[in-house]
Structure 1
């Protein structure tokens, strides 16, 4: 009888000295007892040691796979001391591993294979007996595709790749890795595929992987794919203006063996050159043309042609039909010429006595401003294009408008209506127009070729004078105005009368244009002077000497200083001086015992004094009198009127 600790018993009976124990359980350790049975008695003996059965068969086997490595797992098996795992293909390839655990890794499994997995449980009594019966498979990844080949379509830069079938593959992925970092891929279940959008002039490292049901293959051997050469990108054209040639240069492109450059003008003129370098020379170019450049990149298998969007203009023609219009009164001149095709810029110049003005234009006109007055300018124009310039055009000349006259001055006399005007010579002037406008409506214009002119103007008006210069085409700006007040008109209709009993004498007159006030002067034969100032048209003296005959004067005044004094014995003439506090001094001489001073500055206080003089000596000045000026045009002296003879 054999029994386990768990109570499982197995027995056998025999009349011999041995018997077979059947239906033993796997993975158990039995204690064995032998019982001898007699007719009346029995005895029991225990076997030394234990009866160990074979391990149980491994079950619940699972697998995992990554490239070249298979992982196998199972449930723990009773009675097993260690396990042997074996993988075998139909082609006879095997791999195995031994472990004390319930998992084991199978290494160096070949691609494209199907391995049948068997797990055997072993102990120290039984080996290679307890083998799994489950059908367990490990399918490895497909092998990398072989005989990979590439090709390129030059017209659309399409890449193509093909390969041989890989066992176990359910699809394929082709990968294109460009040396510039660009990458493309395509997927298929056939043995070829293509991609679009290759970068030009790039070498692509191409490989293919086979896609398995669970694990993909490693990459195939790498094959190079050469895309079509690039069309030239950066392209420049440098023109030699003087030799009618252009050097076209470009950046190098990968895979190109040579380059062909063609330039075509708008009228169909064509020139070309070919080079293995990165530049070539176009010769015999026509002037005044715009050439468009096309560049073809040539490799062993492809020709890539592309318009470069580069154009260049040959040396422009000399501008023709050049002219100029002077804009009077604006210090500007508009220059014009016939515009030519292909010109990028016109540069006009105006030169005068070493000074050059410049004006750039993209059309057929250019305006020069701030021209100096009264000068002769020579104008010309050059056409610029692509860093080249034409010959200088024919020269045209202009005479700018005369300069504005400066320094206008007006001088007149209190004794007449004659006015003298003079000014500085204006540059460029051939004549001058003088304009005089009076405040009472009188206006006149005078023309002269000189820088001074004399004219008679009506009395009693405040005149504004201007002058402008003329030449054959233009007038200058008008000068700064100068004002001048002509002498008040001579009082008319003067009548005098006396009142005998009161020694009074009176005089009346008609109002005078330009007069602000009047002074009536009565001079007796005894040389005594009697004055009367008024802003009306009548004046009366109440201090006339009896028995005298007086000569009466009436003077019209407009704020001009006047001074009268008694006669000095032996005096041949008198010197009158007027001086203000800032040094302005007016001095005159007269044979009379009264005078007028018209050169006062307005708004100034003057101190007036008189000195008697003869041909040898001059007296000391009289005590000064103060006079404040208001306005100072010239004032004429009134005519002499009949004498007044008061009663004695």
Structure 2
């Protein structure tokens, strides 16, 4: 029987192996042997049908190698890879091999005439290298190509769910075990049947926010570059805090179960059981407690294995004994008893759109930079009843500002300010060197009275209300008018000059003393407590005034008892001799109503005589001649004393008829 290679292709399932000397192939129930002879000889096909075919040596064919297959791959599951390719021209068969990355060991060689192949039984989340080449009808091997493909990751295992709180917001913490041997980055997708989703590359993820009494069916899927894994088994969570201090645990019923027993374990390891034939159980659950919950199903054959363990923490307890106190006009201190189950407290002080926050693990918080004269609502969170922890608190009034002083007189000043508080009383204080004055009002001004002269006062205002006392305003300083000297004395030194002296005056630095009359005035400026003034007119009544001036120029006008200058000294004094050893002294009449006295003082004897008011002469009797005499004529004051500063004249003579004036002559 003569066969050609072309005919064999149609009727035989032919396998070539160029490295062996004999290839066995079969066709129906008959077996054939092909022996390959050395190069440059022919190959003879021997078969039990006694048919011989001569086949040329493939190495002698002048045909190009087959092209490498163009591979594409995917991983439909976490244990399989599908490889496919387009047909290669002249190819009748394909050979594929697969090995795990970083492994030199092939996991198998596969031959196929199809254009796709599925590899099964692979490791999840692993990277594989797949190599493929084609064969033609003459047994020639084509060029190879390879492709890398990862299997999908393993389904997440040991999935657990627990309730967590972030402030006052509840969430579901979903966790699972990580597969440490997977290839490449893995992303986990957590999905709830109530449309909550979270993604992560770690071993846990939180779904938020969840409401009380919701039942969630949760699935976790792992994804890599090959695609997602199968989702995890659904985890049903249902625990409702049905009323204050009570919780209801629910579960899905199980086929063939007659009854159920709920195991309720607290953090203190005490276990409470609840037996029921329904799918729920209610138990007492105080605030701030953590429970491990599980359910066993029972029938006549016994109990089921322990199912899902639910880790649940009830809402933390409300803070108790909340105490709010003002540290200063813009700072509040809030303290309370520690709340069971709380790990973090949030304290808020709210007013209108202004909210000041404080987060701390300690049961104490200080809120600062608050607005004065403002009512705040202070809330301490966590709390399952917000209204129970709200504490209204008003801060002390704001500090008065724009303080102004308006002196009304020497001992009174009007103090005004800007009142920017809702309802407050104000106290004005004036602190001086030796005294203190206050006034109170609910308006924006107040009069301070009875201020001391010559003093400097520091003036400030404070606001106070039932909420407390404000900071004092910025101070203004007030200097009152200087004091007037208590005692002032005018002493006449000469007929035309006086000496004015006075006592100490508080607050005065400069003095201006003035003597004023209808005939003129005299004035002196000094920092001393005395001064001399000339141009005084005799027999004149003067008004005595003084101006005391402070360092800042404030002035006090002081008025004293009037001063009368001494009577005028007589002028034109002349001496005449009379009979009987007497001398008569004459002077020009002053026209005053004062008596006058004439004194003649010699070395050996003294003489005097008095003239009545209006008289202008008097006589010295029994005068001894031959002496030099000093003669003074002076008026007498109302008190009868002699004016001391009238001028004296000297006379001498050997006989009563020969007395000579020894001074210079004058025009008087």
Range class of TM-score, shorter chain: 0.3 to 0.5
TM-score, scaled to structure 1: 0.47
Question: 1 or 2 for the larger relative contact order (CA 8 Å, sep ≥6)?
Answer: 1
TM-score, scaled to structure 2: 0.46
